[in-house]
Chain A
Amino acid sequence: NAGVTQTPKFQVLKTGQSMTLQCAQDMNHNSMYWYRQDPGMGLRLIYYSASEGTTDKGEVPNGYNVSRLNKREFSLRLESAAPSQTSVYFCASSQWGEGNQPQHFGDGTRLSIL
């Protein structure tokens, strides 16, 4: 049981390049999330998808786009990477129930933008 799988694990980009971070979950969860984690800032929500077919902005959406490809997959795209987007990116999923349920996280993508 893999849980939440993120690819790639590491990536170095040049300013202005684009790339897509992939996330897939095998727990049949309906909600998925993208966070970024920076030193001293904790986790900040970029975008989330409450259910298949819907996406919404989180706290720090500027410079990012997302696609909920199907129930399993939720991708994050950087159209024109900037050094300020250097961070560790985490994908998570959860099952909506009676209120918030625990989120399950992938191991992250470490992204450096030069």
Chain B
Amino acid sequence: SQQGEEDPQALSIQEGENATMNCSYKTSINNLQWYRQNSGRGLVHLILIRSNEREKHSGRLRVTLDTSKKSSSLLITASRAADTASYFCATDAKPGGYQKVTFGTGTKLQVIP
């Protein structure tokens, strides 16, 4: 069963706009990660946020984590056509779950030039 569920399933925006996608999960976690997948390629790690962190930035990416609501959001600012990809959240559950993360079903982002 999927631990993380992304919302929306698909998102289409104009270049330069901001893109926000959300991830909800079911059980307590150690950390949450976001990955990007370009068409026909493997997943690429973007950012990891630990359960005791509330916000993290990396370049044009901003991730928030609300453990009370069991949700996270990924914001991509000033989007570019090259940001077109699918985005997945991944969580590992407490307790245990050694190195096992569970991936959500993804948000497919299209950035129109």
Contacts and interface: CB of A to CB of B under 8 A. Distances in A.
- Our verdict on whether A and B bind, yes or no, reads yes
Interface of A: 4, 31, 35, 40-45, 48, 50, 58-59, 90, 92, 94, 96, 99-108
B42 A4 contact: yes
Given A99-B31, A100-B33, A43 B42 contact: no
The 10 closest A-B pairs by CB, nearest first: A105-B42, A102-B45, A42-B105, A43-B103, A105-B43, A42-B103, A100-B92, A107-B42, A31-B99, A99-B30
A14 B48 CA distance: 41
Interface of B: 1-2, 30-31, 33, 40-45, 48, 50, 88, 90, 92, 98-106
Nearest to A91: B42
Contact of B31 (A41, A42, A100): A100
A104 B99 contact: no
Contact of B41 (A42, A96, A107): A107
Contacts of A96: 98-99
